[in-house]
Amino acid sequence: MKLLSPSLLSADFGNLQRDIEMLNASECDWLHVDVMDGIFVPNISFGQPVVKHIKKHARKPLDVHLMIMDPGRYVADFKEAGADILTVHYEACTHLDRTLHAIKDAGMKCGVVLNPHTPVALLEDTIQICDLVLLMSVNPGFGGQKFIENTFDKVVKLKELCERKNPECLIEVDGGVNLNNASKLYASGADVLVAGNAVFKSQDPLQTIIDLKR
């Protein structure tokens, strides 16, 4: 599969509705929504009230990436705010299995996110529950960072794990994705690419979305 999930972290927060409408009219598949708490990651972005407003305008599924400690506390809130897909960090959950089941039981697709330092092998006993796994290709917290090349190897390892234990599970990659690495990522086995700066800092975001998926 070749899906694209533009990250609203790079959108103009003063003109969110305008930017969401641009994405509605584009070839993108999901809207990636980055929630940061200032503790799990050094940055603070926005929370449920803003997600609710994004949902009002979005005509595509909301792919909500929680960069917060103990995300299990907020599963019901993000369901209510309109998340369709909810991903939580392996590094932020003490009871990951419980949190993933809670997300599913609430009626959302669930996913685990791995930081660049976290090995794919740690998903051996979790992959069965996941609808997707998100590999961070930068250290989370900010848009516009440099892509970590080791991610290609991790995609290949994750693809092997998925084929062995859960072939339905999607592989998503987030951070520093651009026109130079997108096609190689899809070819390595990625199903969904997140792109923030590559889309929103481009002269022609609509065309860039098409080019990234090509």
Positions touching ligand DX5 (CB under 6 A) are 7, 9-10, 32, 34, 65, 138, 140-145, 174-177, 194-198
DSSP-derived letter for residue 62 is E
Q: How far is the CB of 198 from ligand DX5 (least distance, A)?
A: 6
Per the document, the length of the chain is 214
3-state secondary structure of 24: helix
Picked from ligand DX5, Zn ion, none, the partner binding residue 181 (CB below 5 to 8 A depending on kind) is: none
Tokens of 196: 């923030």
Report how far apart, in Å, the C-alpha atoms of 47 and of each of 7, 9, 50, 90, 99 are: 15, 12, 6, 20, 19
174 catalytic residue (yes or no): yes
H helical segments located in the chain:
16-24, 48-57, 75-81, 96-105, 151-165, 182-188, 197-200, 205-213
172 is a site residue for Zn ion (CB under 5 A) = no
Picked from Zn ion, ligand DX5, none, the partner binding residue 196 (CB below 5 to 8 A depending on kind) is: ligand DX5
Tokens of 111: 């996913």
131 catalytic residue (yes or no): no
Report how far apart, in Å, the C-alpha atoms of 178 and of each of 57, 112, 145, 174 are: 26, 23, 11, 10
34 is a site residue for Zn ion (CB under 5 A) = yes
Taking CB under 5 A as the criterion, the residue among 55, 65, 154, 159 binding Zn ion is: 65
Instruction: Select the span of 43-51, 152-160, 172-180, 201-209 touching Zn ion (CB under 5 A).
Output: 172-180
Picked from Zn ion, ligand DX5, none, the partner binding residue 188 (CB below 5 to 8 A depending on kind) is: none
Q: Which is nearer to Zn ion, 43 or 165 (CB)?
A: 43
> What's the distance, CA 58 to chain centroid?
16
89 is a site residue for Zn ion (CB under 5 A) = no
Of the residues 63, 131, 174, 191, only one is catalytic, namely 174
Picked from Zn ion, ligand DX5, none, the partner binding residue 177 (CB below 5 to 8 A depending on kind) is: ligand DX5
Of the residues 29, 34, 37, 63, only one is catalytic, namely 34
Tokens of 77: 């809130």
Residues assigned a catalytic role: 34, 174
Residues that bind Zn ion (CB under 5 A): 34, 65, 174
